[in-house]
Structure 1
Amino acid sequence: MNKQLKTVPKFANEAQEREFWESHDSTDHLDWSKANKVTLPNLKPTTKTISLRLPQHLLDAIKAAANSRDVPYQSLIKIWLQEKLHVH
């Protein structure tokens, strides 16, 4: 079944475009089955600072493990969390 697609309007600025897409379904305007997957290798994920309270003995053990691997302990914590969640 071929659906007749609506044309995407021209926008004067990004704010107008954002407002339009917030109230319209993109599948009425685009055929997502023909979309190409892209890789953005230089895109850095946004980070958020958190406060994490750990018992001193646990923090000492993490720091020792990080030192033996020659990585910063906060980086090692992130690596372990990614491995546990299987997020890459």
Structure 2
Amino acid sequence: MPVAPSAIRAALPPEEAGEFDREYRRVMAEATESLDLTGVLAMLRRWQRVVWSARDPEAHRRMLDQAARLSSGEDVATEPWTTTKARLGL
């Protein structure tokens, strides 16, 4: 069942709300021109996953830090997905 954009925004960590707002306005403007909500729905599904991952705020902040370090080219310890799945028992 789809979740209202306002509910997603309310559940986000405060430091992520501004980025949500900017992206929401952009995809809504695109949808207004194209008459296609596909981009809006994809954006909301992605932000819903952010809300789910942010249930543990410290783990979420560590993940964001790791992603920022990887994006900036830093050498960050990673592991293959198969290893992660095995470690988590998936």
TM-score (norm 1): 0.26
Relative contact order: is structure 1 or structure 2 higher (C-alpha 8 Å, sep ≥ 6)?
Answer: 2
Which structure shows the bigger proportion of residues in helix conformation?
2
Instruction: Tell me which structure has the larger Cα radius of gyration.
Output: 1
TM-score (normalizing by structure 2): 0.26
